[in-house]
Structure 1
Amino acid sequence: MRAIKAYSKSSSFLVSFIFTFLLFVGVAFNTYVLSVSNDDLLIRETEAAILADIGGFRSLYESAGQSAVIAALENRLKNRNNDFLYYLKNADDEFIAGNLKDWPESDVKLIRNGLLEIEVSTRTSNEHDTPSDAQTAIAMIVAFSNQDNLLIARSVQNYEFAVWLAQTSSWVMIIIVCIISILSLAVAYYVVSRINKISDTADEIISSGNLSERLYVESDWDDLSKLTVSLNLMLDKLEQSVNGIRSVSDNIAHDLRTPLTRLKTHLEQLKEDELKHNLIAECDNILAIFNSLLRITYIETNAKREGFEQSNLSLVLEDAIDLYQPILEEKHIELSTDIGNDLYAICDKSLIFQVFTNLIDNASKFTPAKGSIKLVLSQQGNNVFFSVCDSGIGVDDAALSKLTQRFYRADKSRTARGNGLGLSLVSAVVALHLGEMSFSNSTIADTGLCCKITIPCK
């Protein structure tokens, strides 16, 4: 089962989406700054400042005359932070006051009504000063009543640089934000893909029971790779522990099987009585337990498919039914079947036969007289589906997940014959065939159990 089925449901993608959304809010703001930081905005702002200056000088000239204007200009020019340029001349075109070197005669461009774009140079304070370079300015001319003319200009070079810097910064920010957004989504995709790979491998290990498999380590620089290494170390420890437990139980079963066989031989030599038969039955039961343990271990640890061939599961199931038909008739158990014709699968025929017989045996064992059992064998897609449902004593919901554990027996089945290894063997065979096994409450009666198995056809 994949840990994250949809990328949209990943927390990494959610964080990346929120992060990307916030970044694009910043992009939108920068785009707005980029759109308003243009030459037209610069011209409008400069025009407003010049018009305000013209209004002030016109009012001063009308109220106090030329001398007051000259004094105001000189006072203005003493302020080094003043970025305005002035040229006051009389009716004879003679320079009176200001910081412009010349009255512009050429390189004058009309922007709109009364607003000019000119090339100007500032006047030096003395002959030893280096003349300033020509610069672009926005200007307007105000004519006074006695034919004096005042040119008021404002250099826009610094503002043009500021606009260029703002526009460049905005474009750089937009590019950076786009790169960060793409990287964040790429990182989220990488994280989700790696997590799903880890989850798929872990699910394969769980379903197959093969603890020798390991998670693939793609690199050694990221945290997920370090996590994968830690998980592989944990799997090493688990494999060692499980193999140790299995080897102990298998060794005990293997070593005790021989003396038990000898004990049974000696018991058979005793005189015929009820005690002899009881003791032999107990020996047979213990030997059956040991044989089942060794059989399960063999299937789990030697998961080989040499005996696999295409088999007709319908015929295999009918053989299993024929084997248990006398027992079912003896208990007057009603058996209903729904078996598809000629259902084939690549499998170990003898192991699948053992699966069918074990499940039918379990159902007949825990179903009371005059009860009912239903067997279903059908094909669902690329899988063969088999189910056994009975009207027996059933199992509590809390115990359903424990039924395949070795030696586990539910409280309701303590008094019935058995050793708690039948379903463990079935589970091992199903895992060998890469199938799935599940349990649920019976669908044919108020009580009882349903066991469902799916096995791939190929």
Structure 2
Amino acid sequence: MTLRLGQLARSVTARFVIVAFLVQLIVTGGILLFVQQASERALAAEQKTLVAELRDDLVSAWRAGGDEGLRRLIDARLEQAHASPPVILLATARQDPIRGNLGDWPTVIPARTDWQAIELYRTGSDRAELMGVSSATLPNGELLLAGHVISSSVRLARVNEEAITAALVIGVIFALLSALLIGRVLSNQIQGVVITAREVGEGRLGRRVPIDGSGDAFDALGQSVNAMLDRIEALVSQLRMMTDGLAHDLKSPVTRIKVALERAIIETEDETALAALERVSGEAETLLGMLSTALLISRAEAGIGRDRFVDTDIAALLEDLAEVYGPLAEDRGFEIAVEAEPGLHMALHRELVGQALGNLIENATKYAEGGHRITVRAAREGSGVSLSVADDGPGIPEARRAEALSRFGRLDPARHIVGSGLGLSLVEAVARLHQGSFALENAGPGLRAVLRF
């Protein structure tokens, strides 16, 4: 789980999704914060304006009509219904109430103030209310307090804040979904290249990246990759044709040489000449085997033979191989043991897989000096099957296994033994034909050659 999270964190797509999400989150959060701050400032400004207008109207009424005019306006304003009821108090210089809907002058309110929010009780009310008030001193020394109940405005601001918070949560969700969607679209665009590259690597050189003709960067990438694959396919086809042609052209004369040598061996009576002819015949046999193996490798790497895959009882295949190679192994001092899980079936090219496993068994009898047992095993491995041939000989050092897998590669201790150096290359080609893998592993003691399908 930790490894998967680490891989995800290093993923370019994941980083892009995170960046896109953060950008959208910052933009959305910034806009909503601006809206909230602007609405709160507008609401506060409106409240202050209403209070200032009420105070100025009352002061103007006093200047126009004296105390009588001011009191008439106070009564008129208190009788009117408002969404935010007015708060008015006319008091003496010693803060004794004269007229209004407050019982006493609030001690925390100075004689002059432009704005102050405070909780007070209106006359006849049994609960305190939040009020925005402003105070002034009239020229005759009397004190005037004017304001409005702003509890409803506060509730409106709270509702507005909750709405902004809900909008932010929804914005976060949509930002995440949109970032994931964008990441998915990009991943799908790249996936076409990945799938094509994987299938070309498996030998299907005719596959190409889908092109939608949009002319965008992904389309240009697909066209460039397809042009590269066209060139690779042409070069591989030319090389394959040359290899196949050379192998075919050489196979016929080598076969004729082999026939001529066998005829000469039968007809000669000179012991020295007979020994020389037998050595040359052996070399011709080795060359003929190399040409046949090279043809098989070339065809397997080209993907030829997938139409001959058949459902195969793997346990039965291994038993047949043990029966065929058993006498050879006994002659060289080995016994073959088969370990196969029952019921293992898989679609395989039976002949090529049999030849690949036969090569591995024959290699074990040749090179596992000092060994006595060869184990041919088949087992389920994850969602696939592994086929292995293991011996109890000296094995191959891990540092030299790649050299052993190279075409015509032969390690120094094996150079005195007759062989072409193509056996393991054929096994690897058969693995790729089945979209599998081939590896050399430590059998402790000995070497284990594993085909995984």
Flag whether TM exceeds 0.5 (same fold). yes
Q: What is the distance in 2 between the residues matched to 1:33 and 1:306?
A: 67
Which residue in the other structure is 1:189 paired with? 184
- Matched with 1:444 is 444
Instruction: Quote the residue 1:453 is aligned against.
Output: 451
**Which SS does the other structure have where 1:277 is aligned?**
helix
Using the alignment, how far apart are the partners of 2:86 and 2:57 within structure 1? 20
Sort the Cα spacing of 1:42 and 1:114 in 2 relative to 1 into closer, same or farther, 3 A.
Answer: farther
User: 3-state DSSP class of the match of 1:281?
Assistant: helix
| Aligned pairs for 1:270-309 within 5 A | 270=264, 271=268, 272-301=273-302, 303-309=304-310
Counterpart-to-counterpart distance in 2, 1:24 and 1:245: 56
Quote how far apart the aligned CAs of 1:249 are: 2.1
What do residues 406-429 of structure 1 show as CA deviations (whole Å, max 9, x unaligned)?
323344433332112212222233
Secondary structure of the corresponding residue to residue 113 of structure 1:
strand
Q: How many residues of Structure 1 are paired with residues of Structure 2 in the alignment?
A: 378
Aligned partners of 1:179, 1:378: CA distance in 2, in Å? Answer: 48
Alignment of 1:253-402 (within 5 A): 253-270=247-264, 271=268, 272-301=273-302, 303-341=304-342, 343-380=344-381, 383-401=384-402
Alignment of 1:114 with 2:88, yes or no, is yes
1:362 is paired with a residue whose SS is helix
> CA offsets per residue over residues 175-207 of structure 1, 9 Å max, x none?
99887665443222222233334323322332x
Q: 8 Å contact 2:439–2:449 — kept in the other structure?
A: yes
Q: Distance in 2 between matches of 1:210 and 1:91?
A: 100
Mark the CA change 1:200 to 1:421 in structure 2 (over 3 Å): closer, same or farther.
same
Determine the structure 1 residue equivalent to 2:195. 200
1:279, distance to aligned residue in structure 2 (A)? 0.9
**2:339 partner SS:** strand
Letter in 2 for 1:452: V
Is residue 88–residue 146 contact of structure 2 (8 Å, CA) maintained in 1? no
Give the match for residue 214 of structure 1. Answer: 208
On the 8 A contact 2:254/2:284 being kept in 1, the answer is: yes
Letter of the aligned partner of 1:451 in structure 2? A
Match of 1:240 in 2: 234
In 2, Cα distance between the equivalents of 1:193 and 1:4? 21
State whether residues 386 and 452 of structure 2, in contact with CA within 8 Å, keep that contact through their aligned partners in structure 1.
Answer: yes
SS at structure 1 position matched to 2:206: coil
- Deviation (angstroms), 1:361: 0.8
Letter in 1 for 2:452: T
Q: Report the alpha carbon displacement of residue 287 of structure 1 after superposing the two structures with TM.
A: 1.3
Deviates more, 1:417-426 or 1:220-229: 220-229
- Find the residue that maps to 1:214 and give its secondary structure: coil
Map Cα deviations across residues 189-227 of structure 1 (whole Å, 9 max, x no partner).
222233334323322332x32212222334534323322
Alpha-carbon distance change, 408 to 313 in structure 1, aligned in 2, over 3 angstroms: same
Q: Is the 8 A contact 1:315 1:342 kept in 2?
A: no
SS, match of residue 423 in structure 1: helix
Cα distance in 1 for partners of 2:373, 2:361 equals 12
Paired residue type of 2:364: A
**Cα distance in 2 for residues equivalent to 1:452 and 1:367:** 16
SS of match in other structure, 1:419:
coil
Deviation track 1:164-184 (CA, whole Å, cap 9, x = no partner) reads xx99xx99x979988766544
Pick closer, same or farther for the CA change 1:202–1:399 going to 2, 3 Å. farther
Closer/same/farther in 2, CA of residues 178 and 328 from structure 1, 3 Å limit: closer
- Measure the CA separation in 2 of the matches of 1:280 and 1:303: 31
Secondary structure of residue in 1 paired with 2:65: coil
Q: Residue 437 of structure 1 aligns to a residue in which SS?
A: strand
SS at structure 2 position matched to 1:93: helix
CA distance in 1, matches of 2:365, 2:434: 25
CA–CA distance in 1 between the matches of 2:346 and 2:291?
A: 31
Matches of 1:306 and 1:12, distance apart in 2: 38
TM-score, normalised with respect to structure 2: 0.68
Contact 1:331 1:370 in 2 (8 A): no
Instruction: Give me the whole-angstrom Cα distance separating, in 2, the residues matched to 1:18 and 1:104.
Output: 63
The residue type equivalent to 2:210 in the other structure is Y
1:32-62 per-residue CA deviation (whole Å, 9 max, x = no partner) reads 4444433652256558x959xx8xxxxxxxx
Cα distance in structure 1, aligned partners of 2:383 and 2:13 = 35
Tell me which amino acid in the other structure corresponds to 2:235: S
Per the alignment, residue 227 of structure 1 pairs with 221
Contact between 2:203 and 2:303, CA under 8 Å: does it hold in 1? no
Structure 1 letter corresponding to 2:298: T
User: What is the aligned partner in structure 2 of residue 418 from structure 1?
Assistant: 419
Contact 1:367 1:393 in 2 (8 A): yes
Quick check: 1:436–1:453 contact (8 Å CA) kept in 2?
yes
Match of 1:158 in 2: none
Q: Any unmatched runs of 5+ in structure 2?
A: 67-72, 90-99, 101-131, 148-156
Q: Is the 8 Å Cα contact of residues 267 and 276 (structure 1) preserved in structure 2?
A: yes
Equivalent pairs: percent with the same residue? 24
**Structure with more helix by fraction:** 2
Q: Tell me which residue corresponds to 2:127.
A: none
Is 1:42 aligned to 2:45, yes or no?
yes
Q: Paired residue for 2:154?
A: none
The residue type paired with residue 88 of structure 2 is: G
Letter in 2 for 1:241: L
Q: How many Å separate the matches in 2 of 1:398 and 1:419? A: 22
1:149/1:430 CA distance change after superposition, 3 Å? closer
Cα distance per residue 1:344-390 (max 9 Å; x no partner): 33333322321221111112111003443222123446533211122
Query: Does the C-alpha gap of structure 1 residues 86 and 426 become closer, same or farther in structure 2, counting only changes over 3 Å?
Result: same
Structure 1: gaps of 5 or more residues: 55-83, 95-101, 117-137, 154-162
Q: Is the 8 A contact 1:376 1:387 kept in 2?
A: yes
Q: Which amino acid aligns with 1:285?
A: T
Asked whether the 8 Å contact 2:438–2:449 carries over to 1, the reply is yes
Query: How far off is 1:289 after superposition?
Result: 1.0
